[in-house]
Structure 1
C-alpha cells in the first residue's frame, strides 16, 4: 500500500489536497460531494483537478467499522484506471493505492 496523496476535510464536506506519484503531480485536487445522486450506486463524490474530472468516490465501511472512500481515478494520460482509498491514517486523510493481485473471478 502506497500513499499517493493527503487531503483535508472541509466544513462543506468536500476534501482538498494533492496527489503525487512518479507520473502525477497534482497540487489542487478536490473531492466534491454529489448532491443530486441519480441512484444508490451513483458516486458520492466527484474528484476534480481544476476543470478536469479525474474520477469518483463512494462511501464505504471497512471490516473494522471504519469509514473510508473507495476512489476510482482515470485520465487519458493513465495507462489504466487507478483504484485507491481515502482513509484516515494517524488523523490524516490519506489517499492510498495498492497494485491489484491479478484477475478477479466472478
Structure 2
C-alpha cells in the first residue's frame, strides 16, 4: 500500500491536506457532514470547491482505533480510488491507497 496524501485535523473536525498520485495533485478537505441514512457517509471530500469523494468512520477490529474509509471518484479517473486515512504516531493523518 502506498501513501497518496497527508492531512492535519483541525479543531472543527475538518481534515486539510494534499492528495498526490502520478496524475493527481490537489489540495483537499475532508469535512464532516449530516447523515441522511445509516449508510450515508460521515464526511465529504472536496478539492477546488468540487466534491469528489466520501468517507465513512470505521474502527479497527484488533485495536479499536478509529480511521476513515474513503472512496474518491471523478470522471477523469479510470476507476474509483479506495483509501484509508489513519493517524500516525506524530499526529499526522496519512492517506493510504488500496485496490
- Fold agreement, TM-score > 0.5: yes
Q: Please, what TM-score do these two structures have when normalized by structure 2? A: 0.93
What is the CA-CA distance between 1:98 and the residue it aligns to? 2.0
The reply to whether residue 61 of structure 1 matches residue 89 of structure 2 is: no
Q: Which runs of 5+ in 2 are unaligned?
A: none
Matches within 5 A, 1:1-106: 1-26=1-26, 28-34=27-33, 36-63=34-61, 64-90=63-89, 91-99=91-99
TM-score (norm 1): 0.87
Give me the CA root mean square deviation: 0.9
1:40 deviates by: 1.3
- State how far apart, in whole Å, the 2-side matches of 1:88 and 1:30 are: 16
Runs of 4+ in 1 over 2 A off after TM superposition: none
**What CA deviation, in whole Å up to 9, does each residue of 1:35-89 have, x standing for no partner?**
x211111000000002211110000001221100000000011000011000012
Task: Please say which structure displays the higher CA radius of gyration.
Answer: 1
Name the count of aligned residue pairs: 97
